[in-house]
Chains A and B, each alone.
Chain A
Amino acid sequence: GAGVSQTPSNKVTEKGKYVELRCDPISGHTALYWYRQSLGQGPEFLIYFQGTGAADDSGLPNDRFFAVRPEGSVSTLKIQRTERGDSAVYLCASSPTSNTGELFFGEGSRLTVL
């Protein structure tokens, strides 16, 4: 498809486990973003990639969260030692440029930590 693809769409895990969430952006989009959306809240910025490098990771809540984009396309958000408070929808977005804020979102990965 032509849109941003995120897998898995749903993930249930136990507290303390490791989780990986994958994002496949729109082809040719150089900018990629991860957001987290909790119930009743707006999307909260986590990290932004321009190409392969993390241009801004100031939104990552702590060092249990890490994201990579090794080839400048697909990105993986990694969460270590998950906690119940990590339960949320994790949204990925991409953009063809890096200076407008106009983002194309995927449908999200819903993470539930039991």
Chain B
Amino acid sequence: AQSVSQHNHHVILSEAASLELGCNYSYGGTVNLFWYVQYPGQHLQLLLKYFSGDPLVKGIKGFEAEFIKSKFSFNLRKPSVQWSDTAEYFCAVNPQTGANNLFFGTGTRLTVIP
């Protein structure tokens, strides 16, 4: 079945540690890829996106993600996390099949310890 997988359910890091959150998808063909973030008590908001071109994309707050087509992956990274990065992170895929649906992974909760 088509899906978006985030294998890390809860990640706990100390401030200044490096972060990598995994995302794999199983949709074929051309896809648009996204990472959304939900800070405590806030709505989902876009962190970064990949449509085409350079597979390494940079988003807000120092986050970046790399699209590896051969691995169907779009992992999120940040070299040095801050306490304010504590949030839930969702990977999402738009399969571009005509219907404009966005399919989400189950999310990864990141807790950054000061």
Contact = CB atoms under 8 A, between A and B. Distances in A.
The answer on A and B forming one complex is yes
Interface of A: 3-4, 31, 33, 35, 40-45, 48, 50, 55-56, 58-59, 91, 93, 95, 98-108
Size bin of chain B's contact surface? 20 to 34
Given A56-B101, A100-B32, A100-B49, 16 more contacts: A35-B104, A42-B90, A43-B44, A45-B102, A48-B99, A48-B100, A50-B100, A55-B100, A93-B44, A101-B34, A101-B102, A102-B34, A102-B49, A104-B46, A105-B45, A107-B42
Contact of A55 (B90, B94, B99, B104): B99
B106 A105 contact: no
Contact of B43 (A58, A98, A107): A107
B110 to A, nearest CB: 15
A102 B93 CA distance: 10
Interface of B: 4, 6, 32, 34, 36, 42-46, 49, 51, 90, 92-94, 96, 99-107
12 contacts: A3-B43, A4-B43, A33-B102, A42-B105, A59-B101, A100-B32, A101-B32, A101-B100, A101-B101, A102-B49, A103-B46, A107-B42
